[in-house]
Structure 1
């Protein structure tokens, strides 16, 4: 039997990101928190920043806060986040919920290919992606074409791409299994077929280097409350390549996307830059929380986060293998994100039993337990403790 306690201690001792853990609120009542892929822990600096905002800016400056900096936050924070995903300034805004951002991105992408009538996505994508794609397709007269993941978690797009392909919506990391797609290669393949790609980065933002500009991506969307630790319901981002911005259309024009924000013009004229993807008044508190999460991720380094993520998931796979459990996550670290999924009967009941013992994982009906391993907040010892509880529950 492998001594995983000793191995975890050695890995933690050699982990350059270990000090970051102390910069978050750590729950004294938990044995392990393994759900950072759903909601990240609260950074201490975010707690302090929001308290100062409430006390000094909202409470002290009131409406003057808009002219003193709030009005520029969607694009300023967008540029800061854009640097994490390999986007040059002027291509990212932060402001809406993920669902709204996906709808905007899909409508915008469809507007770039008016002569085509098919929208492609994976049948295994997150429900919001599938629901919104179906609605956008109905609104724009498109036909939805689904593609099934291959047994190894990849996607074979060749049978569904063609001269009718307008838009392809893809999730960088499979929310169920953690399988990671080859973003540059698939983007190139879609472009070769004449289509436009929208990438959902919800489960890779902050833990997987993306390189959107380098990969020639058209549009991308991602949430900030997972590995960026921006809090429940924190606003998402939309990326649009600079080459598309001049004529990009989106379905929810509002005063924040107008060319002159305060002109209150009778007729709408879209902003010529990335602001054209905004709609209404942004959530200032949410944007400030995103800014703090982005700053922490940037200071720690996306490459360092990726290295630790691979080590954490490899460690988890070794523990789960020795316990004889069925893991659905790819074995190749280059082909997985930062969560590991175990196939077990009665996943909901297993999760509830783990929570009763102080371990918080996640489940997906009917038989998947997801174990989120966040590089900045999860230690190897914490992962070991959580996995030990999982194996104990299943043995019982």
Structure 2
């Protein structure tokens, strides 16, 4: 099977694309730009821009602190439940939270409060770079590196940028 690289052929396929109708749902300021960044939020949905404006003007501008009790505090669980359905998890197993780095910092600070006399955090060279808070030890050296001075070992289930899974 040969695939044509002709622009007219691509235009015909685009005209037949059943997903083409969704294009108008996104803010597109440059019709010529092909945006394929996989590590991005992507194009801004028009509905999201409207919701953000409503949030700033109504929930923050008008309601002020009262908005906290109008769904803000339950948003992590409520949005997490929606994501759970998409990924096949139970609704109470997913929450939306701050970035991994911020949550990791919170975990480290909580652990530190309960570990008097211990002062070291250990992670290995297979973790996400931002996880290197205090010390990064090559994974093959773990057993010789662990001691009572360590109060926290940070280790991920999957190795970043690979298909390698720890067992």
Q: For this structure pair, what is the TM-score category when the shorter chain's length is used for normalisation?
A: 0.5 to 0.7
**In the alignment, what sits opposite 1:145?**
139
Change (3 A) 1:167 1:20: same
State the shift of 1:76 in Å: 0.9
**In the alignment, what sits opposite 1:168?**
156
Distance in 2 of aligned mates of 1:72 and 1:57: 15
Distance in 2 of aligned mates of 1:37 and 1:49: 23
Matched ranges for 1:354-393 at <5 A: none
Distance in 1 of aligned mates of 2:20 and 2:123: 43
CA contact (8 A) 1:121 1:170 kept: no
The alignment of Structure 1 onto Structure 2 pairs a total of residues equal to 145
**In the alignment, what sits opposite 1:130?**
129
CA contact (8 A) 1:118 1:144 kept: no
- From 78, 86, 89, the equivalent of 2:88 is 86
Matched ranges for 1:1-396 at <5 A: 2-28=4-30, 30-101=32-103, 119=123, 122=126, 129-132=128-131, 134-135=132-133, 138=135, 143-145=137-139, 167-170=155-158, 174=161, 181=163, 186=165, 190=166, 193=167
Q: Report the TM-score, using the length of structure 2 for normalisation.
A: 0.64
State the shift of 1:39 in Å: 3.9
Distance in 2 of aligned mates of 1:18 and 1:29: 14
SS in 2 for 1:96: coil
Distance in 1 of aligned mates of 2:62 and 2:109: 40
CA offset digits 1:339-385 (Å, max 9, x no partner): xxxxxxxxxxxxxxxxxxxxxxxxxxxxxxxxxxxxxxxxxxxxxxx
Q: Report the TM-score, using the length of structure 1 for normalisation.
A: 0.30
SS in 1 for 2:95: strand
> What's the RMSD between the two structures over aligned residues?
3.8
Distance in 2 of aligned mates of 1:87 and 1:80: 10
Change (3 A) 1:11 1:71: same
Distance in 1 of aligned mates of 2:125 and 2:22: 37
Change (3 A) 1:84 1:71: same
SS in 2 for 1:69: coil
**In the alignment, what sits opposite 2:115?**
none
CA offset digits 1:85-108 (Å, max 9, x no partner): 222111222231242245568999
Structure possessing the higher relative contact order (Cα contacts under 8 Å, 6 or more residues apart): 1
Distance in 1 of aligned mates of 2:86 and 2:104: 19
SS in 1 for 2:156: strand
State the shift of 1:34 in Å: 2.9
Q: Which structure would you say has the larger Rg?
A: 2
CA offset digits 1:163-201 (Å, max 9, x no partner): x998335367x4xxxxx738xxx4xxx3xx4xxxxxxxx
SS in 1 for 2:55: helix
Distance in 2 of aligned mates of 1:8 and 1:106: 52
